[in-house]
Amino acid sequence: MKESIVKKVSVHTLKCPLIMPFTISSGSHKELENLLLKIELSDGTIGWGEAPIASHITGETIEKSAKNLRDFSHKIIGADIKNYLALLVKAEEFFEKNRSSLFAVQTAVMDAFCRFMAIPLWKLYGNKVSLGSTDITIVIGSEKDAFDFSLKMRARGFKIFKIKVGIDFDEDIKRVIAVKKAVKDCSIYLDANCAYSAKETISFISEIKKYGIVPEVLEQPVKKEDYEGLAFLSKKLKTAVVADESAYSLDDVSHMLRKNGVSGINIKMTKFGLLRAREIRQLAMAKGVKLMIGQMMESQLATFAALHFSMGSGGFDFLDLDTPYFLSAGVMSYDKKIISSSGIYNIGLVKKGIGAVPAKVYK
Ligand SMILES: [Mg+2]
């Protein structure tokens, strides 16, 4: 038997408590609970992928995703990992309605291929940059918690603070002011996760401007389907208006780009998978639209896969890859220098594959 043949595929779970509930306007994660896909080749090479399940955002569930992953597993046994592109396409057709599983399969395939070839994943994307600084999220909570957490993370070295808003207009304004007070010299991003109307957004932005606060990024201020609102705000505001929930498919994105309807796109590998993420990056760059790389609730495994893509291919303006900083325990083994305590990643240090391996394996 050739050495590069997929011999075994298995599905596992990954669980980890968080340091605090990760609360946004549309719901909350109390812990990380994701799926892992393990691909074993005939020469013993192993590749891992992670399916980040965010039921309150995508409607995907652990049970259904695990079943889909198991059903798909049979279809790639016996395939040659060197034909990785064919496997990525096959996965894209199968997982159209379960994108986090698509991401798990595609990254496990790439991890196995790159480990087999003994190269890091970023190399396949062109190796543009290796260092990146992520923002840190200020979740929805009290004004005091927002202030204290910002101060603490600033002391650790974080310089970009992404504040989740959208539960209560007045409370949100108080929290944004509190964060700015704690981290005067830092950049502020806002993410409303669909909660405001375009009109409310304008008054929100003018209100915080009175306190000298001009956010660099305003993510998904309006409803998913409110493309007009996004276009209006993108023209009206100096801040980059970044579509996240509104950019869930290639069609959504091309629609917005064709109409010059948005000033930024949040590419999440969990929404698009690897192939479409590449396509969307190119389309957006051709239109001069800003790019953010984001994520769901993910461990270092999925986070690194997104880093290899964004850093390796280049062109990303905003890095929003901070969920590993919310895990209360180590769940992956990796080269420690890749992730710093201050939000700086050095993906250039990965020697093989994605560069993270589950520390413990669950059934
Ligand atoms: Mg978002």
Q: 211 CA to middle of ligand 1, Å?
A: 24
Residues with CB under 5 Å of ion ligand 1 are 191, 219, 244
Last residue of a domain, one of 62, 97, 119: 119
User: Do residues 151 and 242 both lie within one domain?
Assistant: yes
Q: Are residues 78 and 171 in the same domain?
A: no
Ligand 1 centre and the CA of 303: distance in Å?
15
Q: Residue 49 and residue 146: Cα distance in Å, rounded? A: 33
Same domain, 199 and 86: no
Q: Is residue 349 part of a domain?
A: yes
CA–centroid distance, 148 to ligand 1, in Å, is: 23
Which tokens sit at 258? 């064709």
- Please give, one letter per residue, the 3-state secondary structure of the chain: CCCCEEEEEEEEEEEEEEEEEEEECCEEEEEEEEEEEEEEECCCCEEEEEECCCHHHHCCCHHHHHHHHHHHHHHHCCCEHHHHHHHHHHHHHHCCCCHHHHHHHHHHHHHHHHHHHCCEHHHHHCCCCCEEECCEEECCCCHHHHHHHHHHHHHHCCCEEEEECCCCHHHHHHHHHHHHHHCCCCEEEEECCCCCCHHHHHHHHHHHHCCCCCCCEEECCCCCCCHHHHHHHHHHCCCEEEECCCCCCHHHHHHHHHCCCCCEEEEEHHHHHHHHHHHHHHHHHHCCCEEEEECCCCCHHHHHHHHHHHHHHCCCCEECCCHHHHECCCCEEECHHHECCCCEEEHHHCCCECCEEECCCCC
Q: Same domain, yes or no, for 107 and 160?
A: no
Q: Do 29 and 139 sit in the same domain of this protein? A: no
* Ligand 1 centre distance from Cα of residue 132 (Å): 19
* Distance from C-alpha of 302 to C-alpha of 36, rounded to nearest angstrom: 10
> What's the gap in Å between 337 CA and the centre of ligand 1?
28
User: If pLDDT is split at 50, 70 and 90, which confidence band does 289 have?
Assistant: very high
Residue 26 has pLDDT above 90, yes or no: no
pLDDT for 27: 85
Residue 334 in any domain: the answer is yes
pLDDT value of residue 160: 98
Domain encompassing residue 276? 123-358
Strand partners of residue 171: none
Per-residue pLDDT for 336 more than 70? no
Question: Over the stretch 130-183, which tens digit does the pLDDT of each residue have?
Answer: 889 999 999 999 999 999 999 999 999 999 999 999 989 999 999 999 999 999
Give residue 106 CA to ligand 1 midpoint distance, Å.
Answer: 22
Distance 204 CA to ligand 1 centre (A): 18
240 contacts 259 by C-beta, under 8 angstroms = no
Quote the mean pLDDT of the chain.
95
* Domain membership flag for residue 1: no
196 located within any domain = yes
Distance CA 230, CA 125 (A): 31
For residue 271, the CA-to-ligand 1 centroid distance in Å is 12
- Give the pLDDT mean for 334-351: 89
Instruction: Provide the pLDDT for residue 2.
Output: 85
In a shared domain, residues 189 and 206: yes
**What CATH number is attached to the domain comprising 97?**
3.30.390.10
Q: Is-contact 219 189, C-beta < 8 A?
A: yes
Residue 191 Cα to ligand 1 midpoint, Å, equals 6
Could you tell me if 182 and 103 lie in one domain?
no
Residue 363 lies in a domain: no
Q: Is residue 254 part of a domain?
A: yes
The answer to whether position 350 is within a domain reads yes
Q: Determine the distance separating the centroid of ligand 1 and the alpha carbon of 245, expressed in angstroms.
A: 7
Domain-ending residue, one of 98, 119, 140: 119
Mean pLDDT over 218-232 rounds to 97
Domain membership flag for residue 33:
yes
Question: Which tens digit of pLDDT belongs to each residue from 89-141?
Answer: 999 999 999 999 999 999 999 999 999 999 999 999 988 888 899 999 999 99
> Taking Cα atoms as reference points, which of 343, 318, 324 lies closest to residue 219?
318
- Number of domains forming the structure of the chain: 2
| CA–centroid distance, residue 321 to ligand 1 (Å) | 11
Q: What is the mean pLDDT of residues 282-294?
A: 96
Bridge pairing between strands 344-346 and 27-41: unpaired
Report how far ligand 1's centroid is from the alpha carbon of 205 (Å).
18
- Strand 240-243, strand 318-319: pairing: unpaired
Q: Percentage of the chain with pLDDT > 70?
A: 98
260, 193: one domain: yes
Say yes or no: 353 and 253 in one domain: yes
Q: Global pTM?
A: 0.95
Nearest in space to 207 (alpha carbons), one of 172, 241, 244, 239: 172
- Beta-bridge mates of residue 6: 41
Does residue 362 have a pLDDT over 80?
Answer: no
Domain boundary among the residues 119, 138, 168 is at: 119
Encode pLDDT of 42-80 as tens digits: 999 999 999 999 888 888 999 999 999 999 999 999 999
| Same domain? 158 vs 295 | yes
Query: Is 344's pLDDT higher than 80?
Result: yes
- Can you give the pLDDT at residue 213? 97
Domain shared by 186 and 294, yes or no:
yes
Q: What's the CATH code of the domain at 135? A: 3.20.20.120
Residues 41 and 153 in one domain: no
